[in-house]
Every structure is written in C-alpha cells, then in structure tokens.
Amino acid sequence: MASFGKFIKAQREKKGWSQTEFGALIKCNTPLVSRIENDKKPITFNKCKLLSELFELDYEMIKDLYFADKFAKDAFQYKCSENVFSVAEAQTKYFKEINTTQGKLKF
Amino acid sequence: MASFGKFIKAQREKKGWSQTEFGALIKCNTPLVSRIENDKKPITFNKCKLLSELFELDYEMIKDLYFADKFAKDAFQYKCSENVFSVAEAQTKYFKEINTTQGKLKF
DNA sequence: TATAAATTTTCCAAAACTTGCCATATTTTT
DNA sequence: AAAAATATGGCAAGTTTTGGAAAATTTATA
C-alpha cells in the first residue's frame, strides 16, 4: 500500500464516485477529500468505520492501514531508525501483558 | 524497554535525582514528572534532546524510544493487529523512496 | 477550442486537544 | 510520627487540528 490517502483514492475510484459525491457520503467537502487523498491532511479516525462500510472492506484491516500510515508518517518525518517499529512491537506486547496481569492500562 | 515513562524513571534514579530535582532540569513541575513516569502524560518531544544530554545517552536512541512508545500506545489502545508495524515499516520505505525520486514530501 | 466538471490550493475560524500549573491526597522514608 | 517524595484531580492558557469558503488549476468533453 502506498499511503492511506492513495488507498482512499483508489477505493473511491473503484466505486466510481467523484470527490464531491464521496465527500457527501463521508461528510467532508470536496477540497478536504482532495487533501486527504493527497496526504495533506489525515482523515479523522472515527470515519474508518464508515469507510469500511462504503468500500465494503474489513474494518480491522482499514484500522491497521490507518495507523500504519500514521506511524510511518511520524517515523519518516522525524527520521527514526530502521528498528523503531520492532521496538514498538515489543512495547505493545509489554502493554498487553501488564494489561492482563495488572489492572487495565489507561494512558 | 518497559515504556518511555519507566525508562525516564530508571534513568532519573540512576542519576540519583528526585522528581523535583529532575523537574527543575527539564522545566516541568513535580506532578508532571510523576505523570510522565507513570505514562499518564507524554513528555514533550522537544525535550528528548535535553534528556539525552542529562542522561548522557545517544539522542537517536532516545528519539526512537520516544516514538516506539508513542506508536505502541496507539496500537495497544486501538487494538491494532500484530502486523500493523510491518505495514508501517513498508510504508516508511515507500515515503523515503518518493522523497528521493520526487520532490520532498510534506504531510 | 470552448465549456463544464473535477480536482487542488490558499486562507482562516471554530473546535478539540495538549500542556503544564496549583492544590490536594497518598505513599514512602527516616 | 514527621518529613520527604510521589501521585492525582481539576483547570486555564496555549497550541494543534479540523474542516469550510473562495479561488485557481487541471482534466474531460463537446
């Protein structure tokens, strides 16, 4: 996958919608749709559920794509090293662990 | 590494500083230091440079830890799947590529 | 080529979130 | 038990994010 913006654009075109038509469906005006597709602005996370319905795709998959894109943009922008994501993976496991052994985590 | 908060706490204690002493060094009051160490609030990214000097540790390493922690917290909180980070890694490579072939990326 | 449709860019205000402080608890140490 | 250290609740100021209107540009179509 290229980026979340490109993904949205591809799916929208697959459905044959213009940015304006699609914008009406997700309650964004046309310029915002453009910016989202060109990765100038992120789409609001809350809209991922709606996207999965409109595109008829698995929500979990879209959610992962959304966050992968977000993480990647940060990592790129701040020039993180190659292994930042494996550290992140280890850390996630750690959080899951405490969450089950100890009380529920809340950041 | 447990979490960025725990990392800071460990390093602070290694230096023998109280939260108040350490807070003075990083310009945070004591309660905020506490919250940072307990992962209730993130430390401001800008302070990572200062942290690397105070703890006498490599800045790049601290930066990676900072972002790994941030990513992990999101991934945990939103229950991302196991492979969200490998997707993110691939995406980062993609961004690096366009950045060199095409103009500079700006999100 | 002329016109219309679609997309992109610029600028900006409202809303949401973040940051970090003070006051107050609670826990730990002595 | 007292003091020191740490943790929590609530809030004000500042910043960021979100997304809209208007205008410019590009693309498609007749």
DSSP class of residue A53 equals: H
Tell which residue, A46, A48, A22, has the closest CA to residue A34: A22
pLDDT, tens digit only, all 107 positions of chain B: 689 999 999 999 999 999 999 999 999 999 999 999 999 999 999 999 999 999 999 999 999 999 999 999 999 999 999 899 999 999 999 899 888 887 778 88
pLDDT at B107: 81
- Strand, helix or coil for residue A1: coil
What average pLDDT does range A64-93 have in this prediction? 94
Top residue of A40, A48, A64, A102 to mutate, by most chain B CBs within 10 Å, is A64
A11-18 own/partner pairs: CB under 8 Å, 24+ apart: A11/A51, A11/A55, A11/A57, A12/A37, A14/A55, A15/A54, A15/A55
Write down the domain spans for chain A.
Answer: 4-98
Residue A104 pLDDT exceeds 90? no
Confidence of residue A105 (pLDDT cuts 50, 70, 90): confident
Q: Are B29 and B23 in contact (CB under 8 A)?
A: yes
Determine the Cα–Cα distance for residues A39 and B2; give it in Å rounded to an integer.
33
> Which of B63, B99, B107 is closest, CB to CB, to A80?
B63
Q: Searching chain B, which residue's CA lies closest to the CA of residue A80? A: B64
Just give the CATH number of A4-98: 1.10.260.40
User: Rounded to two decimals, what is the model's pTM?
Assistant: 0.93
What average pLDDT does range A15-26 have in this prediction? 96
pLDDT at B15: 95
pLDDT at B105: 80
Residue with tokens 């602005």: A41
Top residue of A95, A98, A99 to mutate, by most chain B CBs within 10 Å, is A95
Determine the Cα–Cα distance for residues B85 and B91; give it in Å rounded to an integer.
10
**CA–CA distance from B16 to each of A31, A92, B13, B23 (Å)?**
54, 29, 5, 13
Determine the Cα–Cα distance for residues A1 and A34; give it in Å rounded to an integer.
18
Residue with tokens 């922690």: B69
* Chain A nearest C-alpha distance from B58 (Å): 13
